[in-house]
Chains A and B, each alone.
Chain A
Amino acid sequence: MSEKIKKDDTMTVVLGEFSSASDLYHAAEKMRDAGYKGFDCHSPFPIHGMDQAMGLGRSLLAKVCFVIAISATLGMIGFVYWLSNDYKLVISGKPFFSYIAYVPPIWAVGILTCALTAVFGMFAFNKLPQPYHPVFNSDNFSRATQDAFFVSVESGDPQFELEKVKSFLSSIGGKNIEVVQG
């Protein structure tokens, strides 16, 4: 297999298939305990508790959303305050900054910013869009979005050694071990 590695700058990925969600979950625990860092567990649906099994913390997305949405809301409050004094509309003799009447636009801007941050933040954390990845060179991997479960180990992992990774994956129950490059 090693003669297929052409250049050092291409990424090599080792794939191992597992037969069920629970097998994948236990494989993730063993990968984590063996100290692997650059591995991922692919499944057609999110698996509950997989973050802990892989040794990953909680996503930062919620904190990012909170900060940006609160800032946008405060910004909008500042904007309507400025607007109510800059462009004065006399309506039934009410105060220019009758703040309750400004709540709906402020609220909408806060919600909208939070939603946009959640979605585009998720894209940024996940490095999407990413139309090409070496794993797409595997025909078998096309089942990862349908009914199959895979562990992938990327050559970026500090303890990546092709033969070792392959034998480790089969020792924890991986089938159809495959090496893809790109």
Chain B
Amino acid sequence: MSAQATDHLIEEPLITSNATFKGISDQVSGVVEAKATKPYLAALAVASSGLLLFLIAVTYLLMEGTGIWGITNPIGWGLAIVNFVFWVGIGHAGTLISAVLFLFRQKWRTSINRFAEAMTIFAVICALLFPGIHVGRMWVTYWFAPVPNQMDLWPNFRSPLLWDFFAVGTYFTVSLLFWYVGLIPDLATLRDRATSKIRRTVFGVLSLGWRGGNRQWRHYELAYLILAGISTPLVLSVHSIVSTDFATSIVPGWHTTIFPPYFVAGAIFSGFAMVMTLAIVSRKVFKLENIITLYHLENMNKIMLVTGMMVGYAYSCEFFIAWYSGNLYERFAFINRAFGPYWWAYFSMIFCNVVVPQMFWSKKLRRNIAVMFAASILINIGMWFERFVIIVTLSRDYLPSSWDYYSPTRWDWFAFIGSFGLFFTLFLLFLKYVPMIAMSEVKGTFPEANPHHKGHH
């Protein structure tokens, strides 16, 4: 059996201490069962203040219209689409960890998959809000949906904006299902540990009466495998379809076939950076260093190094093609991108996304918490700038008479900062009320979980 054949190849234990079935149950459930601590409540207060800012920004937008934003005629999309692409991208690491690494039988994923999946769902919620508020006329947002409107007009099925509705809507639904299916056995654990009636009832309803019998596990495992199998092509297709928002337009700097793979690599890159930021803080605050170990963090850094190089390759390839195409507009778009009025955004992006991850070649830096925390923040900033750089390409299009310099207003920034408030509020609630580590999956990676374990001794 391959599981036994590869056991000796794992150099480090996945769980460094407390590695018993009971130990994992107690430790992970303990976070949910304990009373909320003061630092947690303080963090929740900060996050929900951010959420309040978001609500204020959206309310004012509803009252006044998109004129309060800095969007102008050459740049009609502005920060709303930057934030949309940024948040959808963040989500991709969660699906990659839960689906792609599952198919590759990467056992280390079990310590981080639960909260990476939660991050996916909350990031996609943030993402979906931006096109929703950007339409300006909130009462007709249902025009996104593939239904005829009151004048019997159908939306255009050949438009990337409709594709987005299908791709991101499907992505959200499938991620939510995947997350919930993974949660069922752990919710049953919480139900069985519950000491109060209300707790037992709530978790009893949520866990659907799960009994952990193999007659249930066998369907469950197959459902999980099917979800992983279809999520893998889905995660690759979602950001590809998002990239067609740009790539199908006839705009220099956007109309390129490299966009789909380049967007997918960037999405995974930024998503892992966000998982890293969240993991470093959560493992410290909730004392889970024995479950999310340096080994897990190092593996994530390796993935960031690889995807960072892919992104760097895409940046240079774009420049090469701009020159090689012989198209004057294309060449201008790229020279303008690096040396035009937005040079500062371009070089921030290059520094954060291409230069910073290079330090992960060193094993010492790869295993240094402070270094990887700083790197994860810088990469997130860099990936936000990547989308910003793409958007402001529009500021200098074909006609010099229509050129303009786009600067976001405070209401643009309030909506963006506020979306972090929404994200962190949801994430903090998740950390406290749902097991943040997939207990049943972590237990399944133990040597004692193998039915032939005793035969080796």
Cα A28 to Cα B241 in complex, Å, equals 48
**B-facing residues in A44-99 (Cβ within 8 Å):** 44-51, 53-54, 56, 58-59, 61-62, 65, 80, 83-84, 87, 89, 91, 94, 98
A126 cross-chain contacts in B, Cβ below 8 A: 215-216, 219-220
Question: Any chain A CB within 8 A of the CB of B317?
Answer: no
Question: Any chain A CB within 8 A of the CB of B314?
Answer: no
Stretch from A2-10, A137-145, A162-170, A173-181 forming part of the interface with B? A137-145
Give the residue name and chain of the B residue nearest to A69 (CB): B230
**B-facing residues in A91-114 (Cβ within 8 Å):** 91, 94, 98, 101-102, 104-105, 107-109, 111-112, 114
CB pair B174–A131 under 8 Å, yes or no, is: no
Partner among A22, A65, A89, A108 whose Cβ is within 8 Å of the Cβ of B158: A89
CB pair A119–B181 under 8 Å, yes or no, is: yes
How does the 8 Å CB contact mask read for B211-232 relative to A, with 1 for contact and 0 for none? 1111111111111001100110
Closest Cβ–Cβ distance, residue B131 to chain A (whole Å): 16
A20 cross-chain contacts in B, Cβ below 8 A: 448, 453-454
A91 cross-chain contacts in B, Cβ below 8 A: 156, 158
Cα A89 to Cα B444 in complex, Å, equals 54
**A-facing residues in B122-149 (Cβ within 8 Å):** 146, 148
CB pair B220–A122 under 8 Å, yes or no, is: yes
Q: Is the interface of B mostly helix, strand, loop or mixed?
A: helix
A contacts with B, residue count (CB < 8 A): 68
Closest Cβ–Cβ distance, residue A121 to chain B (whole Å): 7
B440 cross-chain contacts in A, Cβ below 8 A: 44-46, 145
Q: Is the interface of A mostly helix, strand, loop or mixed?
A: helix
Most chain B CB neighbours (cut-off 10 Å) among A112, A132, A145: A145
Question: Any chain B CB within 8 A of the CB of A14?
Answer: no
Give the residue name and chain of the B residue nearest to A28 (CB): B214
B166 cross-chain contacts in A, Cβ below 8 A: 104-105, 108-109
B162 cross-chain contacts in A, Cβ below 8 A: 105
CB pair A61–B222 under 8 Å, yes or no, is: yes
Question: Any chain A CB within 8 A of the CB of B157?
Answer: yes
Cα A65 to Cα B451 in complex, Å, equals 30
B22 cross-chain contacts in A, Cβ below 8 A: 146-147
Cα A118 to Cα B20 in complex, Å, equals 31
Known A-B contacts A46-B444, A62-B222, A130-B209; the reply to A22 vs B453 at CB < 8 A is yes
Cα A109 to Cα B234 in complex, Å, equals 11
Partner among A42, A65, A135 whose Cβ is within 8 Å of the Cβ of B226: A65
Partner among B153, B177, B449 whose Cβ is within 8 Å of the Cβ of A116: B177
**A-facing residues in B1-48 (Cβ within 8 Å):** 3, 20-22, 25
Cα A47 to Cα B445 in complex, Å, equals 10
Partner among B153, B192, B226 whose Cβ is within 8 Å of the Cβ of A62: B226
Closest Cβ–Cβ distance, residue A8 to chain B (whole Å): 23
Known A-B contacts A46-B220, A91-B156, A114-B226; the reply to A104 vs B212 at CB < 8 A is no
Most chain A CB neighbours (cut-off 10 Å) among B20, B178, B188, B449: B449
Question: Any chain B CB within 8 A of the CB of A155?
Answer: no
A-B contact count (CB 8 A): 208
Give the residue name and chain of the A residue nearest to B169 (CB): A108
Closest Cβ–Cβ distance, residue A60 to chain B (whole Å): 9
Closest Cβ–Cβ distance, residue A29 to chain B (whole Å): 10
Cα A18 to Cα B440 in complex, Å, equals 18
Known A-B contacts A21-B450, A119-B223; the reply to A56 vs B157 at CB < 8 A is no
Cα A50 to Cα B21 in complex, Å, equals 19
Cα A115 to Cα B231 in complex, Å, equals 9
B226 cross-chain contacts in A, Cβ below 8 A: 61-62, 65, 114-115, 118
CB pair A111–B170 under 8 Å, yes or no, is: yes
Closest Cβ–Cβ distance, residue B81 to chain A (whole Å): 18
Cα A84 to Cα B159 in complex, Å, equals 13
Question: Any chain A CB within 8 A of the CB of B441?
Answer: yes
A84 cross-chain contacts in B, Cβ below 8 A: 157
Known A-B contacts A56-B218, A105-B157; the reply to A21 vs B213 at CB < 8 A is no
Cα A44 to Cα B220 in complex, Å, equals 13
Cα A163 to Cα B219 in complex, Å, equals 32
CB pair B214–A54 under 8 Å, yes or no, is: yes
Cα A143 to Cα B189 in complex, Å, equals 8
B170 cross-chain contacts in A, Cβ below 8 A: 108-109, 111-112, 115
Question: Any chain A CB within 8 A of the CB of B302?
Answer: no
Give the residue name and chain of the B residue nearest to A66 (CB): B226
Cα A119 to Cα B219 in complex, Å, equals 10
**B-facing residues in A6-41 (Cβ within 8 Å):** 20-22, 24-26, 28, 40-41
Partner among B156, B210, B221, B227 whose Cβ is within 8 Å of the Cβ of A115: B227
A62 cross-chain contacts in B, Cβ below 8 A: 222, 226
Known A-B contacts A25-B451, A111-B170; the reply to A144 vs B212 at CB < 8 A is yes
CB pair A112–B214 under 8 Å, yes or no, is: no
Give the residue name and chain of the B residue nearest to A84 (CB): B157
A48 cross-chain contacts in B, Cβ below 8 A: 3, 450-451
9 tightest A-B CB contacts, nearest first: A25-B451, A147-B21, A40-B213, A108-B166, A122-B223, A142-B192, A101-B158, A129-B208, A104-B163
A–B pairs, 11, beta carbons within 8 Å: A20-B454, A22-B453, A44-B212, A45-B444, A49-B451, A58-B218, A59-B222, A83-B154, A112-B170, A116-B173, A132-B209
